[in-house]
Amino acid sequence: MKRYSVFAIARAALDWHQGWDRAWASPAPKKRYDAIIIGAGGHGLATAYYLGKNHGITNVAVLEKGWLGGGNTGRNTTIIRSNYLQDPSAAIYEKARSLYETMSQDLNMNVMFSPRGVMMLAQTEHEVRGYRRTAHANALQGVVTEFIGPERVKELCPIININGPRYPVLGALWQARGGTGRHDAVAWGYARACSAMGMDIIQNCEVTGVTSAGGKVTGVTTTRGDIGCDKLGIVVAGHSGQVADMAGFRLPVESLCLQALVSEPIKPCMDVVVMANTVHGYMSQSDKGEMVIGGGTDGFNNFTQRGSFHHIEETLRALVETFPMISRLKMLRQWGGIVDMTGDRSPIISKTPLGGCFINCGWGTGGFKAIPGSGWAMAELMAKGEPGPLAAEFSMYRFREGKFIDESVAAGVAH
């Protein structure tokens, strides 16, 4: 694989940029692999990458029914933070955030990680208490956050109206090294690095069944033929229920559409990410100048991967008191992705009732930020057959045992 660098670009310019290799190969599936990952989203690709990099397992295929990064990984609003309340969450999200810091260098792909700072507004007394508590918990967990007052909020984000009549800004939980990254570059970077290690990324290859013998996985059936494997990782986000069903078990996961929208591009006016959880909306400004806006999931289970009018109205209505300037913006486009929600709004990285078959899902509305940490933990689970410290608490059996990691109560919004 040719390394990307300023010198490589200069050299390639002499040849009118005709000599670049394809970023990743498009091979036909082999008959058998040591490990198969279903789903070439960020989590699936990161799992494959760390299987190779950390555990030396490179006879791996990643099977994708569409195009890589075409699921939620290419549809999210790219917020990266690790200011979670519960210890297991803070550990895995902080691991991920720290891997984002050096990801562009590690993958030799500019993922545009932008640690511009994330603030979660406190707009009720209850939130003030909650976020002060989270700041204390973060201090114990080694996650750098602080609770800031309304004047500092205004200083960091001048377009905010802190004196709203219904929801005045009383402060915020501020994580200075949180921010955003370029979502599809993350998928492309991992795909390119996996391909360079000799792994097969096979697009347009839908898994239609899981085969097993004696309680152990033996392979998958796909739209491109049967493929054998010793280990199987299911990493398909909103379609986890269906693929788990193929493997013969049920998951405590619901699939819902989560939508987002962007405005027309405007001059730079906001260089932080702001989440307003009481009114249920959040906003940042993209490098192109668009205001990137999101809210909550649809109120009913569905698989409609597209936007709807009620969402524009609900989300802008929620945010307009705090950001009056958005009332004068035209909205440019909206979209949706199918997210996989668990009851405690925490993910699943787990062994399953089928031997050799592992599952990674339940990242819901907030899994972009987790991609590197999740891939790291899932690769360890698949390689060793047992979860390491990052994944230990995220077993799917916690719902049976009542050992919830309850981030739904802690944050309200989980992006």
Ligand X SMILES: Cc1cc2nc3c(=O)[nH]c(=O)nc-3n(C[C@H](O)[C@H](O)[C@H](O)COP(=O)(O)OP(=O)(O)OC[C@H]3O[C@@H](n4cnc5c(N)ncnc54)[C@H](O)[C@@H]3O)c2cc1C
Q: Which residues bind ligand X (CB under 6 A)?
A: 38-44, 63-66, 70-73, 75-79, 206-207, 235-237, 239, 243, 258-260, 294, 337, 339, 363, 365-369, 415
Query: Which one, 137 or 234, has the nearer CB to ligand X?
Result: 234
Query: Which one, 76 or 350, has the nearer CB to ligand X?
Result: 76
Closest distance of CB 15 from ligand X, Å: 34
What kind and span of H or E run contains 141? helix 125-141
Query: Which one, 77 or 89, has the nearer CB to ligand X?
Result: 77
Closest distance of CB 358 from ligand X, Å: 14
Joined tokens for residue 339: 């997210």
Give SS3 for 187: helix
Closest distance of CB 40 from ligand X, Å: 6
Closest distance of CB 165 from ligand X, Å: 28
Burial class (CB in 10 A: 0-12, 13-18, 19+), 14: exposed
Distance between CA atoms of 103 and 219, rounded to whole angstroms? 32
Closest distance of CB 70 from ligand X, Å: 5
Q: For the residues of 67-96, what is the DSSP string, one character each?
A: -TT-SGGGTS--EE----SSHHHHHHHHHH
Query: Which one, 104 or 284, has the nearer CB to ligand X?
Result: 284
Joined tokens for residue 355: 């031997």
Query: Which one, 36 or 148, has the nearer CB to ligand X?
Result: 36
Residue 280's alpha-carbon distances to 7, 125, 167, 296, 316, in angstroms, are: 46, 16, 12, 6, 10
Query: Which one, 42 or 162, has the nearer CB to ligand X?
Result: 42
The residue type at 292: V
Closest distance of CB 166 from ligand X, Å: 25
